[in-house]
Structure formats: C-alpha cells, structure tokens
Amino acid sequence: MDAKKQIDSTGCRVDSNIIWWICSTICLPFTLPHVILKIIEIIKEWRFRECLPGKVVVITGASSGLGEALAHVFFLAGCKVVLCARRKDELDRVRRDLLELYTTVVTHSPVVIPLDLSDIQSLPRKVKEILGIHGHIDIMINNGGISVRSDCLTTALDVDIKVMLVNYFGTVALTKACLPSMIQRKEGRIVCISSVQGKFSIPHRSAYGASKHALQAFCDSLRAEMTEHNVKVTLISPSYIRTDLSVNALTGSGDQYGKMDLTTASGAEPEKVAMRILKAVMRDEKDVTISQIAPKIAYWIRHLCPALYFWIMARRAKKMSSCINTKVNKP
C-alpha cells in the first residue's frame, strides 16, 4: 500500500498530500498573519508594562462601575491615578479603597478631581488643575457617560441634547484640553469608552447610539491627525457590562430609569473589561470591541447584509413596543 495513502473511517483512501495542500494553501495564509500579529501584541504589551509604573492616568466616571474597576487595575499597575466624576463622596470612597489594597508594586496616592461632563466650560480648568499637580497627563480615559431607555418619538429633545452633551461634547472638551501638553511632549494616549451601539444601533437607544456613533467618528479622525505628534488614540466598544448604567439611565422625559435591565444584569464583569482595556493600552490597540458573539454577528450583518439587519431590528422594535404597551395597559 502507498505510504502516502491513509484509510479513513468509511474505508475511503485519502491522499495525505491533498490534506497538506489544503492546510498550506487555505488555512496557513489566514492563520500565519494572525499568529504574527499576536506575537507582536505580546511584545508590545511586555515593553509597555515596564514603562507603565508612574504614568499619570486620568479616569472620568471613576466613582462606580467600569470607571472604578479601571481605577483599580491602573492603580495596581503602579500608575498615578486621577479620579474624576460628579460625586466627590464616592470618589473619596474609591480612593480609600485603593489605598487599602495590598500591592507588590510601588503605588501612588490617588488624586480626586470632581467634575461634571455637562459643564463644558469648566473642563479646561479641571485639566489645568491636574497639570498643576502632576505636570502632565500620560493617559486620558474618557469613561463617564449616561444612557437612555426610550423610543425616539417620546424622547424629549432636551434629553437628546443632554446625552450628546455628556457622552460626546464632554469627552471632546476634555480631550482637546489634554492635547496641547501631549503634543508638546510628543507623548500621550487618549482612550474613549464607547459602545458596540456606536457601531450599530438598536431600537430604544437612538440618543445613546447617536452619541456613541459621533464618538467613533471623532476618534477615527483624531487618531489620524495625531499620528505625526505620537499621540495615540484607543477606542473601546464594549457590550453590556454589569454596572448601574441602566439604573442611572434617563427615560424619554428625563427622569431616572431606575431599573436593572436583564441584559445589563447578565453582562460582563467590570473587572474583566477593565483588565482587557489595560491590555489594549499596553498593546497599542486602536479599535477594540469587547463583547459576546451575538453583537459581533450583528455588526457583520449590518455591514455585509444590511437588509437582513434592518428586518431583524424592525422585528425587535415591534416586540419591544408590544412589551411596553402591555406593561402600560396592565391593570
């Protein structure tokens, strides 16, 4: 019997050369570049990890949820963390929690800077305050934001404006205030926490999705413009995270939603997402989606087969409207 022949379970002969040809001509061209890119990412992560201690990292929305988790992972990495949010008492709590952590690396006492992202005019002064303390900012993490649970028709225009003001213009204002010092030093990184809903929209999230779409476009333009200045831009698009985002979300009238969505409750742990963001920074990744398989499939359907995506979203919108109407009319 030919040594190059093999017998499979059905008794058929399979030429080993054919199997090798399939692997080398079809699989290898796809797997080899992926493996090379992964090796490069690991090398970048290792090199940056050595430089991370002592970096000044500013985090907005640091009083809870993902922002608090980010404060923990960057603090434990030896960074000089600056905690920013509206609620000073919660920022102080996060600061105390950080100082009580057991660490094996040299840590730096966190700085608390209360700020309101909707108060656009005050944000450049807040950046100047941080620069007055540390002299520079290495990493600006724009994490603060709000969400909405309402259909487009019943969402008051004031709510659309507020969401865009906080999620988009607040981020833009802080970023622009940080850029001059980063450009002068020829070093720095802007990290924006967006959402998978910034890549494709779903029903009852028009205001939120619009603000995240805007953030995606802003980061893509900024990244290209800042290349010559060696200022990096990383956009993070997570799916549902187990935080109080839905509880603190606004309704169409501007009131607090006050409920935990099932999708949010079953979302990823903020600590795991924060660690993935830390790795994205260390690997110099530019656009990262952190999600389960379903949002990734939805993203590709939206771009490869728009008609199918529109049909799925229309059915989802109809189903959501029926559920809301049932709850409203229930005695």
Q: Which residue numbers are catalytic?
A: 208
Tokens linked to 256: 């607090």
Tokens linked to 204: 């009852």
Q: What is the CA radius of gyration of the chain?
A: 24
The C-alpha atoms of residue 325 and residue 224 are separated, in whole angstroms, by: 46
The C-alpha atoms of residue 133 and residue 18 are separated, in whole angstroms, by: 66
Q: Could you tell me where the beta strands, DSSP code E, fall in 211-251?
A: 231-238
Tokens linked to 190: 């802007």
The C-alpha atoms of residue 93 and residue 107 are separated, in whole angstroms, by: 17
The C-alpha atoms of residue 258 and residue 256 are separated, in whole angstroms, by: 5
**Are 53 and 103 a contacting pair, CB within 8 Å?**
no
Say if residue 251 is exposed, middle or buried (CB neighbours under 10 Å; 0-12, 13-18, 19+). Answer: middle
